[in-house]
Structure 1
């Protein structure tokens, strides 16, 4: 390597060190964790979803459909607000449930994220219902603060006596929930239908469809659509499933047993390890104690509100119907007179590997890092990415470092691929001569072509096979960058959030420019085909990548630049064709 090359490497290294130092000194200090605080307030009307709904809208129960009829409760209730280092949680005495779970360090559209869907139609997390005792979700509890959380007590004469305790784990997004249930109804001995609701959504999204509400008149079709778009997952022993049938086998193969039929409620067949509802970056999940005998249950929550439809400056009322899946824990059967005690953990926060893995129940399978094989590689990539962040102090720099490391790992197979393509280009004149000589004898042309390949020691597939070895790595890293919450709101240079589309299209332009340059440098056996590919491939990638997260574009841009350098080194040396 000449002096000029050494100077380039030295300049690049110094620039990188300057960037690291800049990120280190500009990093913001985190605010100190706050202690628990409490305040009481009259419950305010919750915000409705982003559709105009008349206050008189009724809930319609379709025939033969197992649904939850939800009516608006006109009761004054009290809020209890608690602060933890990670979240601000608001409980409500009506139902003794979680009304808000606001994350301190995560925002969307400039507002802090609330893990609970804010609507009076919601069945809030922590709501207990026992139909056989006629214990409903609108029972008002008495509440008191404890050292670690809150305790709710409800005594309904002739029905039941309930104590519900929430105990927060400090420095985490978790609280432990304990239920003590005793029947006061002498006619009901064995209780088999007690259930604790997880809710209907997180992060103000309908869990089955991030784009909005499915408006249909056919109730059965609604629920079928809900089954397609449902985003509720649980781990039933060794199988990760979507409650309506989709699954991912972990250790053993089982047939799907949760395909919805005629809008019936679905109940898990085995003991539950965990039950969660999630979107791309966040999850709310119940983790029952091992051996508790709890099962997961799903219902269809149906609404038929009146909507205002505006067309040609004319506004009219239209009937509409939509459904939302509701997840709950079905408690094991117990003697109502003796009472039962049930315990579980409740996690509501970001989908972070270390947080989910800490429960040791396979909860990390809720992460979207690709299929089983790629999931394993993706977890490794995520760990390496976080390790790089630990010393670069910036996720953009961490992506660059990991990209360089991946390029170093795949350098040898890529080099072999480039060299094979260079050899193919060098012997192309001889191949073209054979084609002209034996154009009327395809068999002879094939024989002579193979002879030249053998004499020149050229493998026609040599340019492809080494590249195939890299596909699992690139696919896994792609999944990590597309789904890792670590990149949410992560700044880098002029970009404020690497998890969203580049608003300036700078990275897209750089990626396409480097792709075109790389195509021009790549050896080709057919100049016309190479010219077509040089412009067609960037056009296809522009269509696919224009809306992808900036972090992904940063990875591909750096990858292209490194590939250009490697291609230049290969092209500079003559191919060794004997």
Structure 2
């Protein structure tokens, strides 16, 4: 009766995992399944007032006000090419960035990353990071001044320029003068990677002193109902507002928080502290902006102790990151005020983030990559994997070599595990006798088995240590593969064209020969199937559990894991498969060095065969 109940429980558990797991994956891993207002901060304008298109937040220009109004809002979206032709522009031309600066408003609103494509097709377009207002995913940055009683440039200002193209060799200076004698200038410089430096200068040639606050902002349109699955924020990978305050990375602010929506379950569980509508910081702000899984737009102040920062929502799908001087700067007649701010706009390549961090003393810029809890372990693993890739030129081969390294380091622990397994096998006949003797008294049975463990100096949990050690390795590799752009679009062999994506071939549709895509929970690729097969044979080498329920669970676990692992990155599946193969080889070698264990395994196999024959005959 107990055996039947255990079988029913095992079947129910399997069904729950097979059918419930895809829903959990879509909810929490969509990328694989597919303070109050700033004290005394002068508010900064944040939109073009163009009738008939979606407005970005408008912040009152009067000093001390922080009200946001959206103006007339329309859902009209216009073609990118049309918008780019509407106003005069300065081209941006670097080895890794292409685009332009809109001279109306002085917006950096047109940037593509030439080294990265949207997909792996031959004619794939380059990834677009910044887009002008009026497009589906408007995303831009600009720099300016706020103050009362003096005319300052705004979103409708047409700037003059001294160059027609911004390159690493030719900086561009934008300039504009008002009617009361103030001249504003923004000198933009760019390097060969992803860093733009903005030097803001204002010269007061008027008769009176003026008070101004320089600022920088990044504005982004984000439709929370239509965020692509591979760009959505999850409890393992943050996407959205991000920054470093007082030397620590902060991933607590989400678009939903700023929009005033209820935070999700995991946000509440892990202590999200964001305030709906606005989040302000008047401590040391190293940088802040918006992150996607692979891309980052971030403002980096030159003097982190002299700025305030804020995330805010303008209502609907508009969000903004701002930095500004803590207090207005007084500029006497004939004097000049200068401020420097940097803008990172590009791919989150670890080496570049670390170089900028060191070169410009930007604290924790590398934390733009959400390494998570195992940062201390993931970075060395990333360094090893990337070094192996540079050595062999193939990330799949690099993963295999890394698996050899990891298993080599864990070899002494595996030997201890083997010793524990050997001891467990040696005492199994005595355990069976105790189970048979005390089959009607489970409590006495457990006491006698524990006494047997103590007398024979056997630790039944010792064999679990390598499994527990594998957990941080597995999770770290998952984060490395899912977050590191260095792994993006990296092929292995044959059908594996992207190790950061799931295995695309599945026997369910005859490996693509049948013209349909199977549901997520059935789209099991070749690599996860190989992983399940190798895990099955690995379990065969382990001591059989005495408890029937445990035995049944261990027998179906490899096949359950096949479905669980199917939506994960192929690189992760490759690691686990190779690790299983190495474990089988290692255990076989260790068994060969202990003939008594080999004889015991042969005896167990013989007894199992006899029992199976007897059961068959009885049936």
Instruction: Find the partner of 1:136 among 137, 154, 166.
Output: 154
Q: CA deviation at 1:429?
A: 2.3
Name the structure 1 match of 2:201.
Answer: 180
Deviation readout 1:151-181 (Å, 9 max, x if unpaired)? 11122334953211111123x2212111113
Q: CA deviation at 1:354?
A: 1.7
Distance 2:226 2:452 in 1: 58
Contact 2:298 2:344 (8 Å CA) reproduced: yes
Contact 2:147 2:211 (8 Å CA) reproduced: no
Instruction: Find the partner of 1:112 among 126, 145, 149.
Output: 126
Q: CA deviation at 1:482?
A: 2.2
Name the structure 1 match of 2:478.
Answer: 478
Deviation readout 1:314-350 (Å, 9 max, x if unpaired)? xxxxxxxx33321122234211444421112222222
Contact 1:103 1:114 (8 Å CA) reproduced: yes
List aligned pairs for 1:52-63, cutoff 5 A.
Answer: none
> Would you say 1:232 and 2:241 are equivalent positions?
yes
Describe the SS at the equivalent of 2:489. Answer: coil
Distance 2:289 2:56 in 1: 26
Distance 2:273 2:67 in 1: 15
Name the structure 1 match of 2:463.
Answer: 463
Instruction: Find the partner of 2:110 among 91, 100, 103.
Output: 100
Name the structure 1 match of 2:611.
Answer: none
Distance 2:428 2:313 in 1: 65
Bigger shift: residues 289-298 or 74-83 = 74-83
List aligned pairs for 1:176-575, cutoff 5 A.
Answer: 176-182=197-203, 189-192=210-213, 194-200=214-220, 210-211=227-228, 231-242=240-251, 244=253, 259-261=274-276, 263=277, 265-291=278-304, 293-302=306-315, 322-332=316-326, 333-337=328-332, 338-358=335-355, 359-360=357-358, 361-371=363-373, 374-439=374-439, 444-494=444-494, 495-504=496-505, 505-526=525-546, 528-529=548-549, 532-534=552-554, 536-572=556-592, 573=594, 574-575=596-597
Say which structure is richer in helix.
2
Q: Could you say if the C-alpha distance between residues 439 and 498 of structure 1 is closer, same or farther in structure 2, counting changes exceeding 3 Å? A: closer
TM-score after normalising by structure 2: 0.68
> Would you say 1:169 and 2:210 are equivalent positions?
no
Contact 1:415 1:566 (8 Å CA) reproduced: no
Describe the SS at the equivalent of 2:532. Answer: helix
Contact 1:428 1:525 (8 Å CA) reproduced: no
Contact 1:150 1:165 (8 Å CA) reproduced: yes
Bigger shift: residues 271-280 or 134-143 = 134-143
Name the structure 2 match of 1:33.
Answer: none
Describe the SS at the equivalent of 1:200. Answer: strand
Distance 2:155 2:322 in 1: 13
Distance 1:461 1:480 in 2: 30
Distance 1:384 1:435 in 2: 49
Distance 1:60 1:153 in 2: 24
Deviation readout 1:423-461 (Å, 9 max, x if unpaired)? 323322211211232345556544432332233331121
Distance 2:139 2:484 in 1: 29
Deviation readout 1:438-491 (Å, 9 max, x if unpaired)? 345556544432332233331121112343344333322232122111111112
Q: Could you say if the C-alpha distance between residues 137 and 498 of structure 1 is closer, same or farther in structure 2, counting changes exceeding 3 Å? A: same
Q: Could you say if the C-alpha distance between residues 533 and 447 of structure 1 is closer, same or farther in structure 2, counting changes exceeding 3 Å? A: closer
Deviation readout 1:122-168 (Å, 9 max, x if unpaired)? 46212436264564223111122274331111223349532111111
Describe the SS at the equivalent of 1:125. Answer: strand
Describe the SS at the equivalent of 1:273. Answer: strand
Name the structure 2 match of 1:155.
Answer: 177
User: After the TM superposition, which parts of structure 1 deviate over 6 Å for at least 4 consecutive aligned residues?
Assistant: 56-62, 70-75, 183-188
Instruction: Find the partner of 2:98 among 70, 88, 109.
Output: 88
Please give the root-mean-square deviation of Cα atoms over the aligned residues, in Å.
3.7
Q: CA deviation at 1:196?
A: 1.3
Deviation readout 1:252-307 (Å, 9 max, x if unpaired)? xxxx996324x3x33212131111311111112222223561222112132xxxxx
Q: CA deviation at 1:527?
A: 7.3
Q: Could you say if the C-alpha distance between residues 544 and 185 of structure 1 is closer, same or farther in structure 2, counting changes exceeding 3 Å? A: farther
Describe the SS at the equivalent of 1:526. Answer: coil
Q: Could you say if the C-alpha distance between residues 501 and 468 of structure 1 is closer, same or farther in structure 2, counting changes exceeding 3 Å? A: closer
Describe the SS at the equivalent of 2:104. Answer: coil
Describe the SS at the equivalent of 2:289. Answer: strand
Describe the SS at the equivalent of 2:482. Answer: helix
Contact 2:53 2:134 (8 Å CA) reproduced: no
Contact 2:106 2:174 (8 Å CA) reproduced: yes
Distance 2:291 2:106 in 1: 23
Describe the SS at the equivalent of 2:458. Answer: coil
Distance 2:319 2:370 in 1: 20
Q: Could you say if the C-alpha distance between residues 539 and 229 of structure 1 is closer, same or farther in structure 2, counting changes exceeding 3 Å? A: same
Report how many residues are paired.
474
Q: Could you say if the C-alpha distance between residues 70 and 162 of structure 1 is closer, same or farther in structure 2, counting changes exceeding 3 Å? A: farther
Q: Could you say if the C-alpha distance between residues 548 and 443 of structure 1 is closer, same or farther in structure 2, counting changes exceeding 3 Å? A: closer
